Amino acid sequence: RTKEALSERSEDNLRSPICCIMGHVDTGKTKLLDCIRGTNVQEGEAGGITQQIGATYFPAENIRERTRELKADAKLRVPGLLVIDTPGHESFTNLRSRGSGLCDIAILVVDIMHGLEPQTIESLNLLKMRNTEFIVALNKVDRLYGWKTCKNAPIVKAMKMQSKDVQMEFQSRLTQIITEFKEQGLNSELYYKNKEMGETYSIVPTSAISGEGIPDMLLLLVQWTQKTMVEKLMFTNEIQCTVLEVKVIEGLGTTIDVVLVNGVLHEGDQIVVCGMQGPIVTTIRALLTPHPMKELRIKGSYVHHKELKAAQGVKITAQGLEHAIAGTGLYVVGPDDDVEDIKEATMQDMKTRDILIYAS
Ligand code: GDP
């Protein structure tokens, strides 16, 4: 099965990269997500942005539209970008580690007025441990004294509009923050000056309030992932799926919210997930995504799917999920698979997860 799945892999069939937003409390993670979503999500399907389970999906078309001013002639080869909606509350250390574990790339948000803070360093360590690529959003540039708003403008254009004083304050704060990264053993540089991406981390100045630098951030995420992660982003039939949350939903019972990283899930698939008392073997009863219309979403109605293709955030209903454990993998039992082997693989995840939570 693996061979067959691998032979289907191709550079012309990529899945969406998965991105998470990390950083210290109050640096603007929630606001950044709101800002890149715009009002589109509230209004339904405008711009093609869709609210998924635990994630927001940005189609390539939307990203192309918003980065037009950057004149990036580079072709967008990925279908879009899936951004994980990490909770605003930073007490969920394990949630953050789960979020970063399944991500292809992260946005590490730093407040330009505060520099590196304790949870910035914590996030950094988590990213290093997981070998996750990331870019730095140097957020709240609009708080520089005297900043002139240039709504949603590319950062170089916005910076040219600023007075000498603002530019100097920006430069001195940037230099300070680059030094702070250096103290953590990391080289970093403004993204448009960065000639050694991969060795040196890219910094994108942003404002989540007025949108300066947001086009740059979106383009960098997509270009960087499709340039360096093609192999990882090739679509395959081999399921790669992580349980983000276990939730009781009225009328549905215990459900699991998963991020389908790669492969296709079908209604009726036999699955194995980690449980408190050992592996849970069950069958997918329903594959659900939120209703595209906000009014209907509030009433808790979902769209049912016969099958769903990665990358997506999905809610799964099935029997016996009461003791499922978040942060672990979901496996599908294929026609040629031995359930016992899969049960063993599933529980192996459990051990890894404990180590990661402990380490974070
Ligand atoms: P989180 O804890 O990292 O999710 O931070 P939030 O997104 O909740 O933002 C914390 C506070 O900073 C809120 O009052 C936001 O309105 C504010 N904020 C976030 N981003 C910006 C920004 O780019 N500029 C300014 N001026 N304020 C911001």
How many angstroms does the Cα of residue 21 sit away from the middle of ligand 1? 13
Nearest to 300 by CA among 284, 315, 283: 315
Number of other residues whose CB lies within 10 A of the CB of residue 97: 21
Question: Which atom of ligand 1 is found nearest the CA of 210?
Answer: 23
Q: Which two tokens stand for residue 262?
A: 């790669």
Question: Which atom of ligand 1 is found nearest the CA of 207?
Answer: 23
Residue 28's φ and ψ, nearest 5 degrees, are: 115, 25
Question: Which atom of ligand 1 is found nearest the CA of 25?
Answer: 2
SS3 286: strand
CA atoms of 8 and 23, how far apart (whole Å): 37
Q: Which of 31, 112, 173 to mutate to test the pocket of ligand 1 (most atoms within 8 A of CB)?
A: 31
How many angstroms does the Cα of residue 310 sit away from the middle of ligand 1? 31
CA atoms of 124 and 22, how far apart (whole Å): 9
28 in contact with ligand 1, CB cutoff 6 A: yes
Sign of CA dihedral 155, 161, 167, 170: negative
141 in contact with ligand 1, CB cutoff 6 A: no
Tallying the residues shown for the chain, one arrives at 360
Nearest CA residue ID for atom 22, ligand 1: 140
How many angstroms does the Cα of residue 31 sit away from the middle of ligand 1? 5
pLDDT digit of tens for each residue in the chain (360 aa)? 455 555 568 888 999 999 989 899 999 998 999 898 876 554 555 577 888 888 889 988 888 888 888 877 667 889 999 998 865 433 344 444 555 568 899 999 999 999 999 999 988 988 888 788 999 999 999 999 999 999 999 999 999 999 999 999 999 999 999 999 999 999 999 999 998 888 999 999 999 999 999 999 999 999 899 989 999 999 998 899 988 889 999 999 999 999 999 999 999 999 999 998 999 999 999 999 988 766 666 667 899 999 999 999 999 999 999 999 887 889 999 999 999 999 998 888 776 655 444 443
30 in contact with ligand 1, CB cutoff 6 A: yes
Number of other residues whose CB lies within 10 A of the CB of residue 106: 27
Sign of CA dihedral 75, 78, 79, 82: negative
Nearest CA residue ID for atom 27, ligand 1: 140
The type of residue at 88 is: G
**What is residue 16's DSSP assignment?**
P
Question: Which atom of ligand 1 is found nearest the CA of 24?
Answer: 3
Nearest to 244 by CA among 268, 264, 260: 260
pTM of the model as a whole: 0.90
**What is residue 244's DSSP assignment?**
E
Question: Which atom of ligand 1 is found nearest the CA of 206?
Answer: 23
Nearest CA residue ID for atom 17, ligand 1: 28
What is the ipTM, given to two decimal places? 0.99
29 in contact with ligand 1, CB cutoff 6 A: yes
